[in-house]
């Protein structure tokens, strides 16, 4: 059975299937905010989906981070590292990619075990 969280016409915010949570790419609500604030907003959304699915950051298996400007890598990592605070980090990829809205500075998707 598949459960859709925050379903929409084109995508669901997240999907639960076979004990796994798949979180779609999340972006900040305020595209005019700094990279650091956008990252905090996105990570808060990921926390919300983890909570809705009954799981935690410790169960993250994979995180994908998309930055339109790879020069934001260090600033993003400062926010990410403070958020993660785990002895063992999940698998992760960070890539430079153009996002749908040019004002957005970060997009993150994730996969977690439930």
pLDDT for the residue numbered 92:
98
CATH architecture of 2-113: 2-Layer Sandwich (3.30)
What is the chain written as a DSSP string? -EEEEEE-SS-EEEEEETTEEEEEEE--S-TTS-HHHHHHHHHHHHHHHHHHTT--GGGEEEEEEEESSGGGHHHHHHHHHHHH--SSPPEEEEEE---SSTT---EEEEEEE-
What per-residue confidence (pLDDT) applies to 85?
A: 86
Domain extents for the chain?
A: 2-113
pLDDT at 110: 98
pLDDT tens digit sequence for 44-93: 999 999 999 999 999 999 999 999 999 999 999 999 999 998 888 999 99
Instruction: Compute and round to an integer the Cα radius of gyration of the chain.
Output: 14
> pLDDT digits over 15-38, tens only?
999 999 999 999 999 999 999 999
pLDDT in tens, 89-110: 999 999 999 999 999 999 999 9
């Amino acid at each position: 059975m598949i459960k859709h969280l925050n379903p929409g016409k084109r995508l669901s915010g997240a999907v639960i299937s076979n004990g796994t949570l798949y979180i779609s790419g999340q972006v900040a609500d305020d595209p005019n905010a700094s990279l650091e604030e956008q990252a905090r907003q996105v990570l808060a959304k990921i926390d919300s989906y983890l909570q809705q699915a009954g799981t935690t950051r410790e169960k993250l298996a994979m995180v994908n981070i998309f930055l339109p400007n790879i020069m934001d890598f260090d600033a993003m990592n400062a926010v990410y590292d403070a958020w993660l605070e785990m002895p063992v980090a999940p698998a992760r990829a960070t890539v430079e990619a153009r996002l749908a809205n040019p004002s957005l500075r970060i997009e993150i998707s994730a996969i977690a075990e439930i």
